[in-house]
Chain A
Amino acid sequence: MTEAHPSLALDETVHQRVRLGILAILSEATECTFTMVRDELELSDGNLSRHVRVLEDAGLVEVRKGYEGRRPCTWLSLTRAGRKALREELAALEALVRRIRRTNPD
């Protein structure tokens, strides 16, 4: 039986470059502000909102609206499913790199 190609393990929702970046950032803290993620990924508000909504609908990210002093502030955090999805995505990517190196050693 042949080994399944690692690219088959990649998740369409998570694999998208910006969404993978959002999950990577959120994986290292309990919560991050929308502004911090936006600045880190150099995105516009609208662009980040769109990707966050996709991740929220997939149950990978949680959005909490609150206040920081008097200013409204949106906090983003990774759900348990989001943490698992990121771990699986990175494992699939690493497997893919190993496979490419094996077939093309140069």
Chain B
Amino acid sequence: MTDETLAEVRRLRTRTRERAHGGAWLPAAVLAALVLLSGLLYRFPFSVADESGPWPYWPGLPSVPRSSALSYAYWLVGLPAAFAVAVVWYRYRARRLGVRVAWPVLVTVGLAAFVLMLALVAIPRELPPDPNAFAGSEPPLWHGFATPLVAVAASLVALGRVERSPGLAVAGLWLGGFSFLANAEGFLGRIPGWLDWILAGGEGPGIGGGIDTGAVPALVFLTLPLLIWLCAKGVRSALR
């Protein structure tokens, strides 16, 4: 009897979980598409650029943009539009299935991260008397946060929390971590010394290095866990 009760509780929970969280794929796919389509914003999407382009890196990564204004507009319109799609989707599902997830968390976190990023870039700073004084020196670490990709990463972590999906949260941390690294280093494909040291198993001088990469391969790398998650989700629903 007790066994049967437990089995029934498990069955009810599984059915409701599938119902409530079966719609996570759409906002995840929209965010993945937004990141991958941002590859069109770079002047050298597939080849290695010799320079990083002007800071802030509005396309998302330190590589020469086709147009900084276009990149700025892309994220300023694209990210809120992605959240609008998510809101319509979740409201439709709530009406159709009678189950609601905490989608306002996703929208609030995503937009807040984006506004914070814009505010961070807009803080007035005193320019050095000689504009070339800092040429060749390391960019400040906070530059790592000055990318729209960090806002997408925060949205993915929030989506993982809302949809109770550790896979989505990991995909967000991966995207956020590597976007931060690229922007903090100010050079696409650069491996910082400490990461080089960790990858070498804690041995060697850890002087760092670099990988020759274009913006689009880098974007694919950044979204890899998210793409794997989406494929796994697709395969699972095809098998069901």
Which A residues form the contact surface with B (CB < 8 A)?
17, 20-21, 24-25, 27-33, 35-36, 40, 68-69, 75, 90, 93-94, 96-97, 100
Min CB gap A67→B, angstroms? 11
Which B residues form the contact surface with A (CB < 8 A)?
2-3, 5-6, 8-9, 12-13, 15-17, 19-21, 94-95, 97-102
Interface SS of chain A: helix, strand, loop or mixed? helix
**Which residue of B is nearest A77, CB measured?**
B100
Number of A-B contacts (CB under 8 A): 60
Q: Are A32 and B101 in contact (CB under 8 A)?
A: no
Interface SS of chain B: helix, strand, loop or mixed? helix
Assuming the contacts A28-B17, A28-B20, A96-B2, asked whether A21 and B9 have C-beta atoms less than 8 A apart, the reply is: yes
Q: How many angstroms from the CA of A97 to the CA of B99 in the assembled complex?
A: 31
**Which residue of B is nearest A71, CB measured?**
B95
Q: Which residues of B contact A97 (CB under 8 A)?
A: 2-3, 6
Min CB gap A90→B, angstroms? 7
**Which residue of A is nearest B99, CB measured?**
A29
Q: Are A25 and B101 in contact (CB under 8 A)?
A: no
Assuming the contacts A30-B101, A68-B95, asked whether A21 and B16 have C-beta atoms less than 8 A apart, the reply is: no
Q: Which residues of A contact B17 (CB under 8 A)?
A: 28
Q: Which of B2, B9, B16 contacts A40 (CB 8 A)?
A: B16
Min CB gap A51→B, angstroms? 14
Q: Which residues of B contact A96 (CB under 8 A)?
A: 2
Q: How many angstroms from the CA of A69 to the CA of B91 in the assembled complex?
A: 11
